[in-house]
Structure 1
Amino acid sequence: MELSLHRLRMLRELHRKGTVTAAAAALHYTASAVSQQLAQLERDVGARLFERVGRRVQLTEFGMLLAAHAEEILDAVERASLALEEAQETATVTLRAGVFATVAAGLLPQALRTIGSRHAGIHVKTKQLPPESCAKAVANGDLDLAFVIDYPDAPMPMEAGLLGSQIAVERLHVAAAAGTLGEGPIALSDLAEHPWILCSPKSHYGTAVRAACLRAGFKLEITHEVEEQSTAMYMAAAGLGITMVSDLGLTLAPPGMDALALTTPLTRTVSIVYRSTALRRPALNLVIDVVRSTAAEMGLSAAGR
């Protein structure tokens, strides 16, 4: 019998989450894809692992037994990878990193160039995900590390078994068409009557900006709801409203846009999260150190704020 680690990871997630839909969401697959892979796992094992109870699928006794062993097997694979990496002293290591758009555009290019020149054996592969999904992907084993954001008004919940290292602190700026708001700095309360361009409150970013405006005494009037900072900036530059943009987001700023500081700064913290079992990985620690140093060179270190 040959067991697929990929399918065992899906079984583990089904055991943890309780439903195929929840397991699929956590693993960033469709429910149909997960169901097909679990059905193949059943054929591989030659025993019934699941049974349908109403609309739900639950594990049989054999399924529970295999799920328990799946936890041990997947943990053992990670420990083995760590042991080999330590023995090789990071001679050749590939790390999978979850990123979001502004980090990918503003921070990673320089950081990855530095890693390539100083640590040629470390290779970083990236996958863009919403910040809200990155930590789950690390906890599930799909990624080795991921960038996440915390706002004072919307802290990012930490998944069980994860640790975090702070990388940078960014300011948020008001973005508007050139010349429309003066030179700044500007008080957040002075922006109450303007039309806004912002992402939905389902994101931590959208929640945080709305909460900050409420503290400043007004409720946002959202004229255009868009999810990417780059899109919001282009719309702001065209005079369709105002938006908020982070320091790293300014690397994507279009021509014809002003970025104004706030009289009372709003900030957000960028961190790298990783599984606690990976804490001893030399390559992981080297990547974190290089990214943190790169952020500091850009003036984004916590010590500088």
Structure 2
Amino acid sequence: MDLSLPRLRMLRELHRRGTVTAAANALHYTASAVSQQLAQLERDVGAKLFERLGRRVRLTDLGTLLAEHAEEILGSVERATLALEEAQESISVRLTAGVWASVASGLLPAALTILADSHPGIEVRTKELAPEDTAGAVRDGALDLSFVIDYSNYPMDWDPSLERAVIAVERIYAAVPSGAVPSASVTLTELADHPWILAGPRSHLGTAGRLACQASGFEPRINHEVEEQATALAMVAAGLGVTLVSDLGLALRPPGVDVVALGDALTRTVSVAYRTRSARRPALLLVIDAVRTAAAEQGLGASAPVTLPDGA
């Protein structure tokens, strides 16, 4: 019997989540791709693992048994990977990181250059996801690490199976059409009469922006709800409203946008999330250290360097 690790991972997610669609979303595959791979797993095993009830799939007793063993097998693979990395004199490994636009453009290039200079055997591949989805992808095993954010007025819920290393603290600014605010700073209250461009309430930035405005005594008049910060800034440049932007987001600013300091104290903390059982993984710690160094070089207030295990 030849058991594929990716198929076992899909089986584990189906067992955890109950539907093929939910498992596919967690692993960032299409539902049809997961269904095909699970059907192949059933053929590999040579036993009935699933019962199809209309459009739903339910695990049989044998399927549940294999899913429970899959949890142990995948955990053992991760522990073996850690042991091999710790035993190597020089680290050669590939990691997959979850990123979003402003991190990918404003922080990651410098970090990967630092990493390549000091540890060329570590390769980091990236997947762009919404910031709200990256931690879950790490928890589910689709990513080795991810960038996550907490706003000073809206900290994210935290999964006990994950840990995080603080990378940087960003300031939040008002982004306004050129000339719209003549002073060097502005309060949110002074922007209350402007039309706003914000992400939706599912977005951490969208929620943090709404809460900040409400704390200043007004409900923002949101004329344009867009998810990408680059899109919001382009709309500001066109004179369609005002928005909020972070330090890393400044790299996405087009001509025609003034960035004005906020009198209201609003910041966001950028961290790297990883599974607790990976906390001693040397390659992961070296990546975190490189990202912190890149953030510090940009003046974003990185915390102390990572302490590596002996021999790394």
TM-score, normalized by length of structure 2?
0.94
CA distance in 2, matches of 1:201, 1:178: 27
User: What secondary structure, in the 3-state scheme, does the structure 2 residue paired with 1:51 have?
Assistant: strand
Alignment partner of 1:128 is 2:114: no
CA distance in 2, matches of 1:152, 1:24: 32
C-alpha deviation, 1:139, in angstroms: 1.1
Amino acid at match of 1:199: A
Amino acid at match of 2:273: V
User: What secondary structure, in the 3-state scheme, does the structure 2 residue paired with 1:261 have?
Assistant: strand
Q: Contact conserved, 1:90 with 1:282, CA < 8 A, in 2?
A: no
Could you tell me which residue of structure 1 aligns to residue 38 of structure 2?
A: 38
**Aligned positions of 1:7-46 closer than 5 A:** 7-46=7-46
Could you tell me which residue of structure 1 aligns to residue 224 of structure 2?
A: 224
CA distance in 1, matches of 2:246, 2:205: 10
C-alpha deviation, 1:27, in angstroms: 1.1
CA distance in 2, matches of 1:78, 1:207: 35
Could you tell me which residue of structure 2 aligns to residue 182 of structure 1?
A: 182
Could you tell me which residue of structure 2 aligns to residue 93 of structure 1?
A: 93
Cα distance 1:33–1:227, how it changes in 2: closer, same or farther (>3 A)?
A: same
CA distance in 1, matches of 2:193, 2:264: 19
Could you tell me which residue of structure 2 aligns to residue 69 of structure 1?
A: 69
User: What secondary structure, in the 3-state scheme, does the structure 1 residue paired with 2:273 have?
Assistant: strand
User: What secondary structure, in the 3-state scheme, does the structure 2 residue paired with 1:116 have?
Assistant: helix
Could you tell me which residue of structure 2 aligns to residue 144 of structure 1?
A: 144
Q: Contact conserved, 1:139 with 1:160, CA < 8 A, in 2?
A: no
Could you tell me which residue of structure 2 aligns to residue 208 of structure 1?
A: 208
Between stretches 69-78 and 55-64, larger displacement belongs to 55-64
Give per-residue Cα distances to partners, 1:113-135, cap 9 Å, x unaligned: 11111111111111111111111
CA distance in 2, matches of 1:34, 1:93: 27
Equivalenced residues, count: 304
C-alpha deviation, 1:54, in angstroms: 5.9
Instruction: Indicate the percent of aligned positions where both proteins have the same amino acid.
Output: 64
Give per-residue Cα distances to partners, 1:107-166, cap 9 Å, x unaligned: 111111111111111111111111111111111111110000111333222234111111
Could you tell me which residue of structure 1 aligns to residue 284 of structure 2?
A: 284
TM-score, normalized by length of structure 1?
0.96
Alignment partner of 1:161 is 2:161: yes
Amino acid at match of 1:93: V
Q: Which structure 2 residue ranges, 5 or more long, are not aligned?
A: 304-312
Amino acid at match of 1:21: T
Alignment partner of 1:268 is 2:268: yes
CA distance in 2, matches of 1:64, 1:280: 31
CA distance in 2, matches of 1:54, 1:257: 53
The root-mean-square deviation of aligned C-alpha atoms, in Å, is: 1.5
CA distance in 2, matches of 1:51, 1:165: 42
CA distance in 1, matches of 2:133, 2:113: 26
